[in-house]
Chains A and B, each alone.
Chain A
Amino acid sequence: MVTSPLEIDSLSYSYDEKEVLDEISFSLRPGEILGILGPNGCGKTTLLKNLNRNLRPHGGCVLLDGEDIGRMDKRDIARRVASVPQTNEIRFAFTVREIVEMGRMPFQEAFRGNSSEDERIVEEAMEQAGVTDMADRYINTMSGGERQRTIIARALAQTPEILLMDEPTLHLDINMQFEVLDLVRRLSAENGLTVVIVSHDLPMVARYCDRMVLIHDHRVFAMGTPEEVLTPENMRTVFNIDARFETDERGNPTVRLFGAYHG
């Protein structure tokens, strides 16, 4: 049996005595796109932060290729797991290229500049994320979508095995939502990148994810393909909505939202 690139084993986490995650367990398959889904405030983002040890779990553990990340050096984790946090404002006038170059940080010693290998990887990452044309523009003057793609390019420059994305479609124009997720799917298909996407955007997750984990009441409520997980009953229980998983006329899976569910 192949070891899972990332395995979450009865992970629990609480803020000030308040339980946020309660014995969460699941594991990733190599090269898949996994969605973590749940209503706002269910602990999705907290879960994601535990996956590269930005937070330390209060119970259970996270295994990266079978190794407990609690015992690993933070830099070693960053060489294998990259992350695209929710895009916030960046105040300082770094250029796009400077930010993408930061993706090489986990591989570099304190005072060494970029090697030609680093430069090649940075160019390639910018190309893949489609930010080459804006390489010399300032990040604090850019739109949310451009900033998002810059951070994706930086994550790619980490040449990761696993990519974590927190609400990647939030604050993006609709066309950009599709472009960003198309990009992620292409990377996953071409580079064998394993991707974890946290979102509450049902139609998008249904369309782009191979499998999904549905979080409800701090626990894993359901897990499987979008079709298996997004049953009308599950969506009613977890999101209080009347909705149905479908395949649209062009053959893309989606979720039709009929409205709020009333008793």
Chain B
Amino acid sequence: MNRRKWIQALLCVAVLIVLLFIFILMDLAWAGNRILSLGEVWAALTGNGTWGTDQIVNVQNLPRIAIGVFVGAGLAVTGGVMQAVFRNPLADPYILGLSSGASLGSAVAILFGVSFIPLSISQPVLAFVFCLLTMFLVYTVSRMGGGNVRTETLVLAGVAVSALISAIVSFITYIAPSDEMQDIVFWSMGNLGGTNWTEVAVVAVIVVIGVAIMLTQSRKLNAMMLGDAHAMDLGVDVAKVRLMLLIVSSLVVAASVAFVGTIGFIGLVIPHIFRLILGPDNRLILPISTLGGATFIIICDYIAHLVAEFHGVLPIGVVTSLIGAPFFVYLLVSRRKEVGW
């Protein structure tokens, strides 16, 4: 790693921190019918606000932003890790069916929820369980026929299983009574609002631990990006590292999906942006992606609220996809070489 890259990386970090700070403030100031002043936001944050500003800033906006920061960071790093593990620039938490698995778990919880367990517990737990089940299903399918698990078969198995699970989710949505159907649809578009601090804490703990584990594997991931044989030649126990990272990824994705629904394109777009600027070294890309993912999701959340006067607050997943998909097409068309396909 040379000096120029370090300087570029530090610049990225500085820009991201400034952007994140500005958009968190603007997002905190959103009060529906008006925008709070900086002074009002500060007063509310420090406990000197009116009952009204306290409700808006601390009860309504702050938990939403907090969960957004952790979800954005978690999804972005998970995406970067998946691309390295599968040596596939198109890989992200969706390609292995992780998100669909978690969706199925949540849909099942919403539809068949048992009365004595509150949805706020059964939904995340079922999302975890189905996410892990999906991962093991994908892993088992790609192992059939014996031999080692090859990344190509894993990706294909992921696509197949994920299509199957999406169909089941659609089916559940279709047969659901209209109330539950609305819940499932709304949630499946991604929604940061309505979170409480318990949920924030659960997501924060899982994301922080998960991301920390992933970051320790950065150097091994670099070697795995050259190919499994290269990584093994360099002393990496590829099968073990891959399995561990898949489990950690499932946990992070399940936590995100369970509480805020499916939010697309963060894992795909964010690591690529920084690869274009800084090259593929995961020791830079992964840590910076945490900041990038958090910043991106907060900007999207701000936009989702900005247009609220026309048709209510947009589901965040709609905004991330509206921004992410065109950018993805741009990568596909004009920056093929730099991102690696």
Contacts and interface: CB of A to CB of B under 8 A. Distances in A.
B309 interface: no
Interface string A92-113: 1111001100110110101101
A260 interface: no
B279 interface: yes
A79 interface: yes
B233 A52 contact: yes
Contacts of A106: 234-235
Contacts of B235: 73-79, 105-106
Contact of B341 (A79, A91, A98): A91
Contact of B233 (A82, A94, A113, A141): A82
A110 B286 CA distance: 14
Contact of A91 (B87, B232, B233): B87
A232 B114 CA distance: 80
Interface in A45-90: 49, 52-54, 73-79, 82-83, 85, 88, 90
B89 interface: yes
Given A54-B232, A85-B233, A140 B227 contact: no
Nearest to B230: A85
B280 interface: yes
B146 A16 contact: yes
Given A54-B232, A105-B235, A140-B340, A94 B281 contact: yes
A92 B340 contact: yes
A93 B281 contact: no
A105 B227 contact: no
Contacts of A103: 234
Contacts of B326: none
Contacts of B185: none
B33 interface: no
Contacts of B229: 49, 54, 83, 85
A96 to B, nearest CB: 12
Interface stretch (B60-68, B169-177, B216-224): B216-224
B152 interface: no
Contacts of B89: 91
Contacts of B220: 105
Interface string A108-145: 10110100000000000000000000000000110000
Contacts of A92: 87, 225-226, 275, 280, 340
A258 interface: no
B222 A102 contact: yes
Interface in B250-292: 275, 279-281
Nearest to B281: A98
Q: Chain A CB within 10 Å — which of B220, B280, B281 has the most? A: B280
Contacts of A52: 232-233
Contacts of B234: 78, 102-103, 105-106, 158
Contacts of A79: 235
B183 interface: no
Interface string A215-236: 0000000000000000000000
Nearest to B276: A93
B340 A91 contact: yes
B219 to A, nearest CB: 6
7 contacts: A85-B229, A90-B226, A91-B225, A92-B225, A93-B275, A105-B220, A105-B223
Given A74-B236, A106-B235, 15 more contacts: A52-B233, A54-B229, A54-B232, A74-B235, A75-B235, A76-B235, A78-B235, A91-B89, A91-B225, A92-B87, A93-B337, A95-B279, A102-B223, A102-B234, A141-B337
